Structure 1
């Protein structure tokens, strides 16, 4: 299922971007770029047109929720956007629900299989 997916990772931690790329690509998801800011995310998404975007909720001075809305407004077609965080899902449940993201995955559970399961749960 994930073999045709391309992914953009938006996170201000280089270490997480490297680890996430390794995990996702091992599961058949091609990481086509990374960004660490809202502006970088929108610019990169416009260049690479990913099917999927993983967005960290905490981007230093910026909010991942703002990134989600900016990507949703600027992208055509709109990619599937998943929020990620080291924080517990319950901390952000209402904000995730009211955002344009399709869902949330804890960083420690990130894998191609967990992405596929979240996407499958929407159909």
Structure 2
């Protein structure tokens, strides 16, 4: 079971995403609504993956993901950027980021998360 932290400033999305992912076998160990709160939760909860909204209120999710990697005391968990916007609308941001991938919020699923994690580890589908 994948241990996941969801970082988004929309309470409705946090609730819906948590419900969906937990039904699909993902252990959502916590949620956060700011970059600072997410950093605290990462240290406290040690998730295996962080789902991070690109547009996090006044904060930039790409910068937050890079800060997680830069400021980590150990190996930081992989970060997957999420957005209500389409991937092509965010492509320039995604390409410049340390995140392992991107998921549109409408495509969020346990299988999509696992596929991105496997890809980030260099595994072929089904090897993970």
TM-score in terms of structure 1 length? 0.92
SS at match of 2:63: helix
Match of 1:85 among 83, 86, 111: 83
Whether the aligned pair in 2 keeps the contact of 1:38 and 1:66 (CA below 8 Å) is: no
Match of 2:97 among 76, 96, 99: 99
Match of 1:53 among 50, 58, 63: 50
Give per-residue Cα distances to partners, 1:42-71, cap 9 Å, x unaligned. 111111111100000111111111210121
Q: RMSD across aligned C-alpha pairs, in angstroms? A: 1.1
**Structure 1 position 32 matched with structure 2 position 29:** yes
Which runs of 5 or more structure 1 residues have no equivalent in the other structure?
none
**Structure 1 position 112 matched with structure 2 position 107:** no
1:115 & 1:31 partners in 2: Cα distance? Answer: 12
SS at match of 2:85: coil
2:25 & 2:61 partners in 1: Cα distance? Answer: 25
Tell me by how many angstroms 1:98 deviates: 1.4
Which runs of 5 or more structure 2 residues have no equivalent in the other structure?
123-128
SS at match of 1:33: strand
Which of 1 and 2 has higher RCO (CA within 8 Å, sep 6+)? 1
SS at match of 1:121: helix
TM-score in terms of structure 2 length? 0.89
2:16 & 2:4 partners in 1: Cα distance? Answer: 14
> 1:19 matched to which residue of 2?
16
